[in-house]
Amino acid sequence: MDLQLAGRVAVVTGASKGIGLAVTSTLLAEGARVVATSRTRGPGLEALACPDLVHVPADLMDPAAPEEVVARAAETFGGLDILVNNAGGPPPGVTLPRGSFLDAGDEEWRAMFEFNLFSVVRAVRAAIPLMLERGGGAIVNVSSGNARQPSPINVDYGAAKAAMTNLGKALSVEFGSRGIRVNTVSPGPVRTPWWTDQGGVADMIAAQAGAGRDDALDKIAPEMMNLTTGRLADPQEIADAVALLASPRSASTTGADFAVDSGFLKEI
């Protein structure tokens, strides 16, 4: 299926690995021009190097960074059609999961919201005027199943993502009549570096269970999280949903929240 993305200009945050890298690769394959931002370029983006890809190194904890990244898209490619707010998770210096709500003080909460919510607010604020100049656009926010399924060991993260999901719905109402669609994709556990890196979540679960990391990824975590499919999702599966929502083929889809979560969320 042609997603009709050829020539469109996209910004993707958190683009150097995991879901963000898969989204960047998918949009490029569909003919889009992409401004990819992350703290470092990384080997994944290096492998995608081409004239249609520009990497902007940025720390989204810096309040000025989101606007600078969006401006780079206009300077380089002449405008903006798509914004994918993918960057998220534990901010620098923070490790998840936590043991308890009581383990996070005010500074940890501020950092979590700065990275997972305020950076998104700033990127959207910068992107909307550029999209309006072109008659519309698509914003896709990558949230989390924890936005709707609270977890006591990730409570600050879940609260920030719940706010992000609420933001997307509100934006879709205000700007839908002006041609800007805003949708949310809410993954469950995904085989990203957060899980698979040394010292990541898989290693934490393996240590607690007295098992190997492969068992933690393939068996223990899916059972612990009651995943219907019996496995963690692949980043490409999230990227496919993001690309479809960014596409004009989804012209009547806005304000939606798509769970791509291996059956993690069971509630209606």
- pLDDT (tens digit, 9 = 90+) per residue, 237-246? 999 999 999 9
Q: Same structural domain for residues 109 and 228?
A: no
Structural domain contains residue 203:
yes
Query: How far is residue 229 from each of residues 190, 205, 244, 260, measured CA to CA in Å?
Result: 12, 19, 22, 11
| Strands of the chain, DSSP E | 9-13, 33-38, 53-57, 82-85, 137-142, 180-187, 257-260
**Structural domain for 218, as ranges:** 192-232
In this prediction, residue 198 carries a pLDDT of: 87
Number of domains in the chain: 2
DSSP string, 2-25: ----TT-EEEEESTTSHHHHHHHH
Task: In whole angstroms, give the CA distance from residue 3 to residue 181.
Answer: 16
In this prediction, residue 222 carries a pLDDT of: 95
User: Residue 99 — pLDDT band, cuts 50, 70, 90?
Assistant: confident
pLDDT at 41 over 90: yes
Q: Same structural domain for residues 212 and 97?
A: no
In this prediction, residue 59 carries a pLDDT of: 97
Q: Same structural domain for residues 205 and 135?
A: no
Structural domain contains residue 227:
yes
Encode pLDDT of 247-268 as tens digits.
Answer: 999 999 999 999 999 999 998 8
In this prediction, residue 201 carries a pLDDT of: 87
Active-site annotation holds for 157:
yes
Catalytic-role residue among 77, 157, 175, 264? 157
Cβ neighbour number for residue 191 with a 10 Å cutoff:
17
Encode pLDDT of 180-220 as tens digits.
Answer: 999 999 999 999 998 998 888 888 899 989 999 899 999 99
Q: Same structural domain for residues 92 and 153?
A: yes
